[in-house]
């Protein structure tokens, strides 16, 4: 069985850029790499690699091991640089303000921003887990521009309730998983990390 249900693997592109929150990208590619019927493509910017080491003490190679296909950010001739390569969706997790700005202005200056540009032009799902605070007007305008083009702006803002769980979040890992679960919902990958809201009294 495949995630798409048509016999073909569902290709999901994950890009990790240099905003804080590398854990979101790592967790996402870890889950997608093990998800039935999913072909997980991964690319990490130079600043993303720095943050992986700085925040999580893990190497680029360790993260790449979760993915089915790994791309070099400078390889602008890669499959995912073309709309003819049938990818289902792309998630930038986390997404820096630099990458957001490049996507908002159609600057395909590396493989991440080119693949995002392709995702938008092919009218596929693009989810940007933008992370900065506070936000200046350029950030806000760039988020508006991406939204107007059909992209989904998904800041990784934790919810301090957890639908479907009997106790409140106990760890950062649980908060991260809940957010990642909501992203998986958006890109049509079945998940159990973030159960749907059953009402305050736990009744559907």
Shortest Cβ 16–ligand FMN spacing (Å): 8
- Residue positions forming the annotated binding site for FMN: 18-20, 45, 96-99, 131
Ranked by CB distance to ligand FMN, the top (closest) residue is 18
- Residue positions forming the annotated binding site for dimethylallyl phosphate: 166, 182
Q: Which is nearer to ligand FMN, 60 or 98 (CB)?
A: 98
Q: Which is nearer to ligand FMN, 53 or 147 (CB)?
A: 53
Strand boundaries in the chain, DSSP class E: 10-16, 38-44, 69-70, 89-95, 125-130, 152-153
Task: Sort 39 into a burial class: Cβ within 10 Å, 0-12 / 13-18 / 19+.
Answer: buried
Choose the binding region for ligand FMN from 26-34, 43-51, 142-150, 164-172 (rule: CB under 6 A): 43-51
Residue 189's nearest CA partner among 70, 43, 37 is 37
Choose the binding region for ligand FMN from 13-21, 74-82, 151-159, 167-175 (rule: CB under 6 A): 13-21
Q: Does 108 bind ligand FMN (CB under 6 A)?
A: no
Spatial distance between the Cα atoms of 27 and 41, rounded to a whole number of angstroms: 14
Residue 28's nearest CA partner among 157, 163, 178, 155 is 178
Q: Does 119 bind ligand FMN (CB under 6 A)?
A: no
């Amino acid at each position: 069985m495949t995630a798409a249900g048509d016999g073909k693997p569902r290709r999901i592109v994950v890009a990790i850029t240099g905003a804080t929150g590398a854990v979101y990208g790592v967790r996402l590619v870890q889950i997608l790499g093990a998800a039935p019927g999913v072909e997980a493509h991964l690319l990490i910017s130079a600043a993303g690699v720095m943050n992986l080491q700085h925040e999580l003490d893990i190497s680029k190679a360790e993260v790449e091991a979760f993915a089915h296909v790994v791309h070099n950010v400078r390889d602008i001739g890669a499959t995912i640089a073309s709309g003819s390569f049938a990818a289902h969706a792309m998630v930038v997790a986390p997404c820096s303000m630099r990458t957001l700005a490049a996507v908002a202005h159609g600057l395909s200056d590396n493989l991440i921003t080119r693949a995002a540009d392709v995702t938008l032009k092919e009218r596929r799902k693009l989810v940007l887990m933008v992370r900065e605070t506070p936000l200046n007007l350029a950030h806000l305008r760039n988020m508006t521009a991406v939204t107007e083009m059909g992209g989904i702006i998904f800041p990784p803002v934790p919810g301090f309730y957890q639908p479907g769980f009997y106790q409140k979040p106990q760890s950062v890992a649980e908060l991260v998983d809940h957010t990642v679960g909501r992203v998986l919902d958006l890109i049509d990958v079945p998940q159990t990390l973030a159960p749907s809201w059953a009402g305050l009294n736990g009744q559907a």
